[in-house]
Structure 1
Amino acid sequence: MKLISTIKTICFLGAGLYLFGLTEDVYVDDIDPIDLLGNLGIIFVLIEIGIALYQDQETHKLSFKSLFSKDTLTLSPIEQMANLLGRVGMVMIMLSFIYNFIDA
């Protein structure tokens, strides 16, 4: 339980540090739009991981019986938004990687 709390804190701190560095680069006007896309994607993914780890552990326990039932996990609206944010973030990271790969 302590490890999950530590990882959750690291995710939120990492997202905050990325956001701070991103705003500093924008302020200095030393950023490429593709790098901005990738960094925003990383921030979104870190926020999604932090929110997913923040949720109550009792509601997400799976047993062998409930593993094959239809409705194993029901997500709250915050979890659904975080899930969408994480997916958008992964697409942004992939687009940034593909563009940098093709451009090089």
Structure 2
Amino acid sequence: MISLELVTKGQVIEYVRNLHFMTFIDMSSNNLSGTIPPQLFTLIGLFSLNLPNNKLVGEIPNEIGNMKNLESFNFSTNQLGGEISQSKFIQIVVFGLLEPIIQ
């Protein structure tokens, strides 16, 4: 499996931990709560990570910088904060955030 789209499906993070070859994840509007699951940042092959319209809180983990293939991410409409170093995301083409946290 290289693509996973779970829009409005509910809690799905348990499925993520064994998806090492995943390149696209869309978990928009899943009513996810808490912090961004650290398992997502072990998927270094991801090109796209979409988590908008959930109830995620806290800081965007620094480990997102380890995702060297990441070209787009969307964390909008959550309660996330922190800073992301732009130098770690030279290859980013598209990103979605409600607040400007890229430094």
Question: Which interval holds the TM-score relative to the shorter structure?
Answer: under 0.3
TM-score of the two chains, using structure 1 as the length reference: 0.21
Structure 2 length as normaliser, TM-score?
0.21
Greater RCO between the two (CA within 8 Å, min separation 6)? 1
Instruction: Give the number of the structure whose alpha-carbon radius of gyration is greater.
Output: 1
More strand as a share of residues = 2
